[in-house]
Amino acid sequence: MSLIALDPIALLESPAWLLGNCTYLVMGLSVLMRNIVWLRVLAIAAGLGKIVYRTYFVYDPLSVFWEALFVAINVAQLLLIWWENRPPDFTAEEQHFVGIAAQGLRPAAARALLQCGVWHDVEPGTKLTRAGERVNALLFLSSGKVQIESGGATVATCGRGDFLGEMTFANGGAATATAIANEPVRLLSFERHALERLQEARPVLRLALQASFNRNLIDKLVRANQAPVSRTS
């Protein structure tokens, strides 16, 4: 065994010894990080240190290969995190929907929710739901007015920012009222099974949507109690 290996002062002055131990220290710190970004940044730093160590001090090409792969994977994951959480680039109508249905969610979750839906322009007189018929889609009104009829009476009017079909959407049951567009309507439609799969993959969306349904339902009830009931011809 060499004298340098036995001399503590010499060890502390050895670049190889310092670098080799620092890489393990940084790796240990990385696993303590709760923030995934810092975990990966420190893991990359440790990996780069090990590549230098195994290239110039204790030559081991196999270790260099695996450390380089380790660094590349973490860099790719960092890029993916950045891409998913990049600043929102939503249109005005998308931002309106996100502000109601995805409050407080990360941009990645909001984008996934938007991508699950399909925008439609609806002509006046179109029946969006029919009383007694199965509801297979959740509808969000971006613009326009929709008349809600039940038992031959107009019981409410829904408009910008309202959901349609949220009460029966989850179980795919029958609509309790008929919704008719009484002017051009712009809406975002979510097919039930597609949205269910998305909510299973991202549980945070289920909570956000349920909260938005509750807020919208309260708003609808307040408006319904304030509006007079009129008979339809």
Listed by start position, the domains of the chain span 3-84, 93-231
**pLDDT per residue over 92-150, tens digit each?**
999 999 999 988 888 889 999 999 999 999 999 999 999 888 888 999 999 999 999 98
Strand boundaries in the chain, DSSP class E = 118-122, 127-129, 137-143, 146-150, 153-158, 163-164, 178-181, 185-191, 230-231
pTM of the full structure: 0.68
Would you state the structure tokens that stand for residue 88, as one six-digit string? 């929102």
Q: Is the pLDDT of residue 88 over 90?
A: no
C-alpha span between 84 and 78 (Å, rounded): 10
Spatial strand order of the sheet with 178-181 comes to 127-129, 178-181, 146-150, 153-158, 230-231
- DSSP tag of 88: P
CATH number of 93-231: 2.60.120.10
